[in-house]
Amino acid sequence: MKLYIYEHCPFCTRARMIFGLKGLAVDLQVIMEGDVETPTRLIGKKAVPILEKQDGTFMGESLDIVRYVDAIGPPILVAPLSEGLDAWVKEIWPTALKLFIPRFVEGDFAEVATPAAREAYRLREEHAFGNLDELRNTTPTLVGQIEPMLEALVPLLASRKAIGINDITLWPLLRSLSIVRAVIFPEAVRSYMEHLSQKCGVPLLFEQSR
Ligand SMILES: N[C@@H](CCC(=O)N[C@@H](CS)C(=O)NCC(=O)O)C(=O)O
């Protein structure tokens, strides 16, 4: 199977995770930012991730892809849904976005490897978030807001024994935040991040934090 992604994209990370966690091979294909033609041809709109299945058909929507792949052989997403974790992800998401988006735009990702692609990405995010330099300047305030939220995650993680759909929505968000150098993760959160990175084979972004 082939998975069309942006390397930075947390929704694409969800789909990458399930292949890694299940030990299933997948051919990763990066779509360049600004390439409207490829995704539109495959699923009728400009959005990733896109899965090309073995029968040659295409599927969009990260969680649909995750459920489809998990159903190949014995499912591994067996942990019961944690409403606490679900609510935590929804609460932190808007603040986290404001921190990682301005850094993604400057990031070292294959989809922005050309000046034209990087500019297309910058314009896309500026359209959604306004001036990105101004957003970056709010980092200290945003970090002050997000660190207590990360502390509140520690007890929610403590009781986790099996992997479930919560990990598929939570871990990509934490991975995205790992590009923000100013964010200090509680030890238990950092160890959860490293552990799942190893298990699913998707790298964190600490090495290019900025
Ligand atoms: N609901 C979709 C959301 C996917 C999504 O928003 N992907 C972003 C990339 S991070 C995208 O493709 N945006 C459109 C674009 O590139 O213009 C899913 O879960 O797969």
Please write the tens of the pLDDT for every residue from 53-62. Answer: 999 999 999 9
Report helix angle 115-129 to 83-106, nearest 10. Answer: 130
Longest Cα–Cα distance of the chain, Å, equals 49
- pLDDT value, residue 8: 98
Q: What is the mean pLDDT of the chain?
A: 98
H/E segment holding residue 86: helix 83-106
Any ligand 1 atom below 6 A from CB of 6: yes
Query: Kind of pairing, strands 58-59 and 27-30?
Result: unpaired
The CA-atom distances, in angstroms, between 48 and each of 52, 147, 180, 186, 187 are 12, 30, 23, 31, 32
Which positions ≥6 away from 10 have C-beta within 8 Å?
A: 172, 173, 175, 176
User: Mean pLDDT over residues 159-174, rounded?
Assistant: 96
Report the separation in Å between the CA atom of 6 and the middle of ligand 1, taken as the mean of its atom positions: 9
What are the chain's domains? 2-70 (3.40.30.10), 83-208 (1.20.1050.10)
Tokens of 150: 């990360």
Q: What is the pLDDT of residues 44-93, one digit of tens each?
A: 999 999 999 999 999 999 999 999 999 999 999 999 999 999 999 999 99
User: Residue 159 pLDDT > 90, yes or no?
Assistant: no
Report the separation in Å between the CA atom of 193 and the middle of ligand 1, taken as the mean of its atom positions: 23
- Closest-CA residue, ligand 1 atom 12, reads 47
Any ligand 1 atom below 6 A from CB of 120: no
Q: What pairs with residue 29 in β-bridges?
A: 4
- pLDDT value, residue 13: 99
- pLDDT value, residue 132: 98
Tokens of 79: 């942990």
User: Residue 142 pLDDT > 90, yes or no?
Assistant: yes
- Closest-CA residue, ligand 1 atom 10, reads 9
pLDDT band, residue 179 (cuts 50/70/90):
very high
Report the separation in Å between the CA atom of 111 and the middle of ligand 1, taken as the mean of its atom positions: 14
pLDDT band, residue 7 (cuts 50/70/90):
very high
